[in-house]
Amino acid sequence: MAALRPIKSAHIPRFRQGGFSLLEILVAMSLLAFGLLAVALNTTKGLKSKVDTEVHSRAMQVSSLYIEPLNRAIEVNTQTFINQLQLIGAESNYQNFTLKLSSSQDAAGNDITQTPTDMLNPPFTLVLDIQYKKDNNSALQFASTHVFVPTP
């Protein structure tokens, strides 16, 4: 009988190492950093949008300070409205806001400030350009349109 020979097998290491390779860790860290960066960018965009919305809301409040005397004047008559418009002037400043009358027209397209009162056709449309000056000398621009109809 032939002697039994041991079967040759592939070498199996006794202690198999567990864990992650350096490459796997670098890929995971890169993905995590990219995700955190995306979250940070979205957060800052949201905050900027919130600030812009607050400034826009404040700009509309400031424009109402300009417009309110005109609302009261138009209830009296057209001439009082024109006088009040000329009294307020073409440009006003309030805190960090500058309000500038960019357009004032009647229904026929005549400039309210240049046309005699008896030739004006209501309603009257005023367009205000509102500029908000930030601390770093940059500015946000808004436009506000208001329509005035005289009481009969």
d(CA 140, CA 97): 10
- pLDDT band for position 129 (50/70/90)? confident
Q: What is the pLDDT of residue 151?
A: 64
- Which residue, chain included where needed, has tokens 């309210």? 112
Q: What is the pLDDT of residue 21?
A: 86
d(CA 40, CA 35): 9
End-to-end CA distance of the chain: 130
Q: Is pLDDT above 90 for 1?
A: no
Q: What is the pLDDT of residue 14?
A: 61
Q: What is the DSSP string of 80-106?
A: HHHHHHHHH-SEEEETTEEEEEEEEE-
What's this model's pTM, rounded to 2 decimal places? 0.58
- Which residue, chain included where needed, has tokens 């009040």? 84
Query: Domain boundaries in the chain?
Result: 44-148
Q: What is the pLDDT of residue 57?
A: 85
